[in-house]
Amino acid sequence: MPAAERTPQTLYDKVFQAHIVDEKLDGTILLYIDRHLVHEVTSPQAFEGLEVAGRKVRRPDCTLATTDHNVPTTSRKALKDIASFIQEDDSRTQCVTLEENVKKFGITYFGLSDKRQGIVHVIGPEQGFTLPGTTVVCGDSHTSTHGAFGALAFGIGTSEVEHVLATQCLITKRSKNMRIQIDGELAPGVSSKDVVLHAIGKIGTAGGTGAVIEFCGSVIRSLSMEARMSICNMSIEGGARAGMVAPDDITFEYLKGKPLAPKYGTEEWDRAVAYWKSLRSDPDAKYDIDVFIDAKDIIPTVTWGTSPEDVVPITGVVPDPETFPTEAKKAAGRRMLEYMGLVPGTPMEEVVVDKVFIGSCTNSRIEDLRAAAMVVKGKKIASNIKRAMIVPGSGLVKDQAEKEGLDKIFVDAGFEWREAGCSMCLGMNPDILSPKERCASTSNRNFEGRQGAQGRTHLMSPVMAAAAAIAGKLADVRKISQFNGSPHIEAAVTPESTTFSGPSASEKAHPDERIETSDTEKETLTDQPQDSSPQVNTTVTHAGGTSAAGGLPKFTVLRGIAAPMEKGNIDTDAIIPKQFLKTIKRTGLGNALFYEMRYLEPGVENPDFVLNREPYRSARIIVCTGANFGCGSSREHAPWALNDFGVKCVIAPSFADIFFNNSFKNGMLPIAIKNKEDLEKVHAEAVAGREVEVDLPNQLIKDASGNTLCAFEVEEFRKHCLVNGLDDIGLTMQLEDKIAEFERKMSRETPWLDGSGYLKRKGAGGKLAVKAAPVPKTNRGDVKTEPLEW
Ligand SMILES: CC(C)[C@H](C(=O)O)[C@@H](O)C(=O)O
Ligand code: SF4
């Protein structure tokens, strides 16, 4: 079609379009996936599914695994193997299971003894595994990070992990286009984290639901890749599945010399760059949602509540919930302040902090550490700070920081210098907050209990967390550090502009050795599910939650008690907290459902919680009047826990995308009812304790006497799969010819995406062999003697 007649496309449209393998009339699309990152938490059940069905990993060369969530970040000097290194049983099982699976399925893996190990969203870009114009997935919501390269990158659930492993494709739909344009110049002391916190404060945690956000404008263009990653990382906190930035010279510069990027100086590199340059939104491209932000409105920002949208400038005060617009918001605000131990009107700069955490996939890259080091250099952390931790995002970040002497600056100031991992972002490992401890954290989620049961999290940038460590309370970094008129932190701090010196890593003692084991052990114990975990509902079982490979129970008409809920933004951390994610099974999680709300302490039920009251103990449906149900993490454990408890259907005004998808994959039906009156009718039945009937074939919700309460929408393909109990991996595999054809085309057009050992180009008549085969050699051997290449 001549260019003039082509509908203008956004960056997202272009990348999406280039990966369509097949499209159904109802808009269901089979999308090809170029890059699949795998970690230990969301993969065991997927590998198990493959094994049970006798399936292979289709593209081991496009799959990269590491272990990050469960790993302790203490010294690895004495590391022999992961099995003896990890003390906690369930964490160890998950990590060992991953190691077994990567061997079994021939996948490249960066284990604990490998310098390239680290948080999955740090290592992908670092290796050049993440490239512009690619589709990138991982069983992890912060896969959005990789969108900084102009990749379409999003989190998926475990069933989808299994689907991608088996077919290298995903079944999906087009998303809406959303644009967040940030123009102007960031003031000194303001960083990309402030930009994204400010943006989420503006759009809310459901603002981007159903959309892919393109970040653009002069501010974004001026930012480094690290800073762009921090912004795209938190797109998910704004409800969007993905965030994207158009690739430009800054992107290409970053990719030069990365092990898995096309080799700089070769024809392939030039070809790739020419393609990457075409990945810009067309000038007249249309966006469904447009947001403009003026850089001068952004000042260092912190959160005050338990949702990432609860932001306030550091110069502000703790808000008063009584001024919130609706009764529901007032109630939520009161609860948050109680949880956070804050009083309305208190200046944020007076909020005293106990712990400081600089790390996570949002802010653990070299630039983050440089910026934080600049603030703490020559200073000491305040005496009230119990613990301040620096956790590099990968072994390579750690090495680089040590080369620049940053570790010395931190240790001299009183910080702990740790090994790479998710650490205190999500207490699945020994790094956790004790109850009521307050943390200045560079992570991305401040949900209740996220960093440890009853822990209190304030999200902020690395320089702000560093400032909090020095001040002993939340602090305005602009008062603590001089920014010498630099335009903004990420452009200001480069290795050249920072004169750090200090002994190299090998010359100094390891700071981890200062940590007393007893302290670590104590913290671990407080946050682990106890053996005495309450046993409830053990009699409520049904056929859901089976492996996708084994087919699903059919969903036609469901009748049962519906439990009423009213809260908005019920996140998956609340549906099932982190300590229960260590299972390698899909079943048995019913007892952990809504754990923090359901139990006052292990074994003691909270009598006020709806599922602890009759008749709701046997609820099969949840009716929630609050929007954005299932937001946050991609954990499929959330629908597994609901399913295991007996709930097969959730009705709410809206859902977070990943939870919505994950539910269908488990034979469950999430129903979005936007019409308030309709939802209220169903809610009233639930409140009255009467049964409700969900009739999927006729798409109707009825009361106990069979009267229709309202109709509901459901996508045709999803309905077809639910009603017939279809295994969508099997369905996709029937399209083998189309997938193979697509792969041949990709190998011709973007050959740099094929990993070594994939296509043996010796097929007759120019026909390429596309049989899935493990890469002949991986780097799972002795990393010390192997080069940092595949
Ligand atoms: C464990 C994983 C499913 C989860 C996610 O998807 O985000 C985790 O990384 C988190 O940050 O909560
Ligand atoms: S958000 Fe935290 S737990 Fe999740 S991947 Fe990132 S660092 Fe790990």
pLDDT digits (tens, 9 = 90+) for 549-582: 346 889 999 999 999 999 999 999 999 999 999 9
pLDDT band for 756, please (50, 70, 90 cuts): low
State what percent of residues in the chain have pLDDT above 70.
86
Provide, rounded to the nearest whole percent, the portion of the chain with pLDDT above 90. Answer: 84
CB of 362 closer than 6 angstroms to any ligand 1 atom: no
The C-alpha atoms of residue 736 and residue 273 are separated, in whole angstroms, by: 31
Given a contact cutoff of 8 angstroms between Cβ atoms, the answer to whether 197 and 161 are in contact is: no
Please compute the mean of the pLDDT values over residues 642-652 and round it to a whole number. Answer: 98
* Whole-number pLDDT of residue 246: 98
Nearest residue to 511 via CA among 411, 394, 388, 369: 411
Give the number of the ligand closest to the Cα of residue 360.
2
Q: 576-605 as b/e, with b when 16 or more CB fall inside 10 Å? A: bbbbbbbbbebbebbbbbbbbbbbeeeeeb
Does 543 have pLDDT greater than 90?
no
* C-alpha closest to that of 459 among 212, 191, 789, 248: 191
Cα of 278 to ligand 2 centre, how many Å?
32
The half-sphere exposure of 684 on its side-chain side, counting CA atoms within 13 A, is 10
pLDDT above 50: residue 769: no
Mutation test residue for ligand 1: of 634, 636, 661, the one with most atoms within 8 Å of CB: 634
The partner residues of 32 in beta bridges, in order of sequence, read 169
Q: Give residue 142 CA to ligand 2 midpoint distance, Å.
A: 7
Model confidence over 40-64: pLDDT tens digits? 999 999 999 999 999 999 999 999 9
Looking at every residue in the chain, the average pLDDT score rounds to: 88
Q: Quote the pLDDT of residue 752.
A: 93
Residue 548 has pLDDT above 70, yes or no: no
pLDDT score recorded for residue 6: 81
Structure confidence by residue, pLDDT tens digits, 271-288: 999 999 999 999 999 999
Distance 83 CA to ligand 1 centre (A): 23
* Residue 666: strand, helix, or coil: coil
The predicted pLDDT at position 779 comes to 30
Report how far ligand 1's centroid is from the alpha carbon of 331 (Å). Answer: 28
Higher pLDDT, 529 or 488: 488
Ligand with minimal distance to 572 CA: 1
Lowest mean pLDDT among 119-123, 351-355, 603-607, 767-771: 767-771
| CB-ligand 1 contact for 41 (6 Å cutoff) | yes
Q: What pLDDT shows up at residue 483? A: 73
Residue 634 near ligand 1, beta carbon < 6 Å: yes
By most ligand atoms within 8 Å of CB, the mutation choice from 38, 119, 138 for ligand 2 is 119
Q: Is the dihedral of CA 589, 593, 595, 600 positive or negative?
A: negative
Atom of ligand 2 nearest to the CA of 633: 4
Tell me the pairing of strands 169-172 and 649-652: unpaired
Q: Are 11 and 153 in contact (CB under 8 A)?
A: no
- Is the pTM here over 0.95, yes or no? no
* Atom 8 in ligand 2: residue holding the nearest Cα: 422
Segment among 46-50, 500-504, 764-768 with least mean pLDDT: 500-504
Cβ 423 under 6 angstroms from ligand 1: no
> What does DSSP say about strands 29-32 and 169-172: parallel, antiparallel, or unpaired?
antiparallel
> Residue 359: which of 389, 397, 336 has the closest Cα?
389
Ligand nearest to the CA of 233: 2
Mutate to test the pocket of ligand 1, among 445, 635, 640, 661 (most ligand atoms within 8 A of CB): 635
Split at pLDDT 50, 70, 90, the class of 146 is very high
Q: What residues are in contact with ligand 2 under a 6 Å CB criterion?
A: 68-69, 119, 140, 142, 360-361, 422, 425-426, 443-444
CB distance 66 to ligand 1 below 6 Å: no
**DSSP code of residue 22:** E
Q: Where are the alpha helices (DSSP H) in 27-88?
A: 44-53, 82-85
For residues 752-765, give the mean pLDDT: 55
Of the listed ranges 249-258, 487-496, 552-561, the one predicted with least confidence: 487-496
pLDDT for residue 762: 37
* Confidence bin at 184 (pLDDT 50/70/90): very high
Residues 712-727 have pLDDT tens digits of 999 999 999 999 999 8
Q: Is 547 in the pocket of ligand 1 (CB under 6 A)?
A: no
pLDDT surpassing 60 at residue 90: yes
Tell me the pLDDT tens digit for each residue of 672-702: 999 999 999 999 999 999 999 999 999 999 9
Residue 747 neighbours by CB under 8 Å, 6+ apart: 754, 759, 768
Atom of ligand 2 nearest to the CA of 425: 2
Looking at all shown ligands, the one closest to residue 634's CA atom is 1
Decide whether any atom of ligand 1 lies within 6 Å of the 620 Cβ.
Answer: no
Nearest residue (by CA) to ligand 1, atom 5, is 633
Please determine, for residue 527, whether its predicted confidence score (pLDDT) is greater than 60.
no
Lowest mean pLDDT among 249-263, 527-541, 562-576: 527-541
Binding site membership of 301 for ligand 1 (Cβ less than 6 Å): no
Q: What is the pLDDT of residues 416-452, one digit of tens each?
A: 999 999 999 998 999 999 999 999 999 999 999 999 9
Residues with Cβ within 8 Å of 381's Cβ and at least 6 positions away in sequence, in order, are 356, 388, 413, 414, 415, 469, 470, 472
pLDDT of 349 reads: 98
3-state secondary structure of 417: strand
Question: Higher model confidence: residue 528 or residue 115?
Answer: 115
Nearest residue to 560 via CA among 625, 598, 616: 616
Å from CA of 393 to ligand 2 middle: 10
The alpha carbon of 357 and the centre of ligand 1 are apart by a number of angstroms equal to: 18
The pLDDT value recorded for residue 496 is: 36
- Would you say residue 143 has pLDDT above 50? yes
pLDDT at residue 2 in the model = 54
Question: Is the pLDDT score of 537 beyond 50?
Answer: no
Look at residue 4 in the predicted model and tell me its pLDDT.
53
pLDDT in tens, 481-490: 887 544 455 6
Task: Evaluate if residue 96 carries a pLDDT over 60.
Answer: yes
Q: 3-state SS string over 706-756?
A: CCEEEECCCCHHHHHHHHHCCCHHHHHHCCHHHHHHHHHHHHHHCHHHCCC
Ligand 1 binding pocket includes 727 (Cβ within 6 Å): no
Greatest Cα-to-Cα distance within the chain, rounded to the nearest angstrom:
77
